[in-house]
Amino acid sequence: MSKHKLIIVGGGRMGTALLSGFIEANLVDQEQLAVVEPDHIQKLKLSESFPSVKVLDVVDDCETLILSVKPNVATDVIDQINSFNCSIDRIISIMAGITCEYLASRLKNKTAIIRSMPNTPSMVNKGMIAVTKGPGATSKDLTYAIKLLSAVGKVVEVDQSQMDVITAISGSGPAYVFYLTEALTKAGIRLGLDDELASTLAKQTVIGSGILMEKTGEEPLDLRLAVTSKGGTTQAAIEQLDRDNVNDLFFNAVQAAANRSKELGDILK
Ligand SMILES: NC(=O)c1ccc[n+]([C@@H]2O[C@H](COP(=O)([O-])OP(=O)(O)OC[C@H]3O[C@@H](n4cnc5c(N)ncnc54)[C@H](OP(=O)(O)O)[C@@H]3O)[C@@H](O)[C@H]2O)c1
């Protein structure tokens, strides 16, 4: 039997997001796609949602393998690839913290390695995805990875040394935006609005602001200044945010995430 074109190992949130993006973009024939997923319920869900895609128990020979499991099971998957002596042309790893060098050093057979950091808006094809070329990867491998991942969002090529910070900005970033939405909702409730109204106002404001940024192409600073008239309500809020050093608080949060990304990689060195 010929090699699978593409296998995604880990059919969880990101694995499924990538799979549906690839299918929607018609990048690979569904019959040539497979997902490796050990969880019985998740397997059933995958078969229901993607009836033409094979759901496998273990890894197999393939042209491209996307590693989309949690970093703590990375070594199990690599051991599986080694024990089955799989022939894999290239691996695209989306695992937080794990370096290309670590993967290359653990793999028995020579395989081109690309590392990537997507984020959850990839589920709606609005992802931000960073990619970097690792050992053995050629510019052709990189071009292929960029084409594939472009199906679920905007792709940028970066240096691997930037990956921990990128993980902290765009990888974890959607959570900060949701946190802001939660904080706005809570503020509305504390100031007397009912829960549903406060939540609707906060969510629609975040959604609308994101789309406004995308559609106008204007910088966030300019869009903010456009609604900040001198002596007005927005200015009062921004001045309070500045007095409370919210910029520094954000810096600390992003730094904590970047440090954690580095630690995750260091554990496996
Ligand atoms: N979610 C994000 O925002 C995000 C962003 C960027 C990068 N990432 C990276 O993407 C990777 C996956 O994250 P996720 O959020 O998609 O996690 P997830 O939803 O937990 O998905 C991981 C999947 O892999 C399965 N799995 C576990 N062990 C396996 C094995 N040995 N072989 C094959 N599959 C196995 C899990 O099954 P079980 O449930 O049975 O364990 C689960 O379905 C992580 O490395 C993460 O760092 C995530």
pLDDT tens digits, 160-193: 999 999 999 999 999 999 999 999 999 999 999 9
Does residue 14's CB lie within 6 angstroms of at least one atom of ligand 1?
Answer: yes
Among protein residues, the one whose CA lies closest to atom 41 of ligand 1: 39
Q: How confident is the model at residue 72 (pLDDT cuts 50, 70, 90)?
A: confident
| pLDDT (mean) for 62-86 | 93
Q: Name the architecture of domain 4-164.
A: 3-Layer(aba) Sandwich (3.40)
Instruction: Tell me the residue type at 8.
Output: I
Indicate the domain borders of the chain.
4-164, 173-265
Q: How far apart are CA 21 and CA 12, in angstroms?
A: 14
| Residue ID of nearest Cα to ligand 1 atom 24 | 10
Please tell me what DSSP assigns to residue 163: H
Tell me whether domains 4-164 and 173-265 share a fold.
Answer: no
Most ligand 1 atoms within 8 A of CB, residue of 69, 80, 99, 170 to mutate:
69
Which tokens in the block code for residue 37?
A: 């997923």
Composition of the chain by helix, strand, coil, percent to 5: 60, 15, 25
Q: Are 35 and 58 in contact (CB under 8 A)?
A: no
Mean of the per-residue pLDDT values of the chain:
94
Cβ of 67 less than 6 Å from ligand 1:
no
Q: How far is the CA of 239 from the centre of ligand 1 (A)?
A: 41
What pTM value is reported for the model? 0.91
* Spatial distance between the Cα atoms of 119 and 129, rounded to a whole number of angstroms: 7
On whether the CB atoms of residues 16 and 7 are closer than 8 A, the answer is no
Atom of ligand 1 nearest to the CA of 42: 43
Q: Are 86 and 36 in contact (CB under 8 A)?
A: no
Res 30: pLDDT:
86
CATH number for domain 173-265, candidates 1.10.3730.10, 3.40.50.300, 1.10.3720.10, 1.20.1560.10? 1.10.3730.10
13 close to ligand 1 (CB < 6 Angstrom) = yes
